[in-house]
Amino acid sequence: MKLKYTFKICSLVFTLMFLPLMAHAQMDVPEGMKHNHPPKALPKTALTPQLKISIDEDDMSGFNLHLQTNNFQLESPRQEGGTPSNIVEGHAHLYINGTKIQRVYGEDVHIPGKHINEGVNQISVTLNGHDHGAWRKDGKEIISTIFINTHKKHIVSHQFSSFPVLVTNL
């Protein structure tokens, strides 16, 4: 009888200890994007990349996201190289509501409506090297985030960029 209770207690302890790890391993992350990459420190000689995103509803479906960059060569890994030594290069990663959706190699990307929930959504873009590590300056990731609310006429409710592109009024 004592052995039966010992086994039950051990099973319970095992489950409580390893359930969070098993749940994390089962997260719904697209195949090929299930790995983490260490961040990339910006070289001291490089200009600080700047990023600002904007979004509009698509006339047909979903949304169109625009990336505006400065001091960064946004490109496919196939086009790597040939940039000035003070400019870093790479691609972007698109996150919607905390989930990585895809890589971005150009300044415009269509977001299918299936990725957007009713109400408030967080859309973030990071600038990454071709090894997928996110570029950082002084420990801060180069990221731009926009919050949209699908229930509002003007869908953008808040915007933040760690190193924004400066916009001048003419």
The CATH class that applies to domain 40-161 reads mainly beta
pLDDT for 86 equals 72
Give the tokens for residue 153.
Answer: 């006429």
Return the pLDDT at 1. 55
DSSP string, 32-73: T-------EEPPTTSPPPEEEEEEEE-SSSSEEEEEEEESEE
- pLDDT at site 21: 39
For residues 99 and 107, what is the distance between their CA atoms, to the nearest angstrom? Answer: 20
Query: To the nearest whole number, what is the mean pLDDT of the chain?
Result: 80
Beta bridge partners of residue 103, listed in sequence order = 93
User: Which of 79-83, 116-120, 159-163 is predicted least confidently?
Assistant: 79-83
pTM over 0.85: no
pLDDT digits (tens, 9 = 90+) for 131-163: 888 989 998 999 999 999 999 989 998 999 988
Per-domain residue ranges of the chain: 40-161
Q: What is the pLDDT confidence band of residue 88, given thresholds at 50, 70 and 90?
A: confident
Q: Which residues pair with 52 in a beta bridge?
A: 68
Q: Name which residue leads in pLDDT, 84 or 47.
A: 47
Over residues 31-59, mean pLDDT: 81
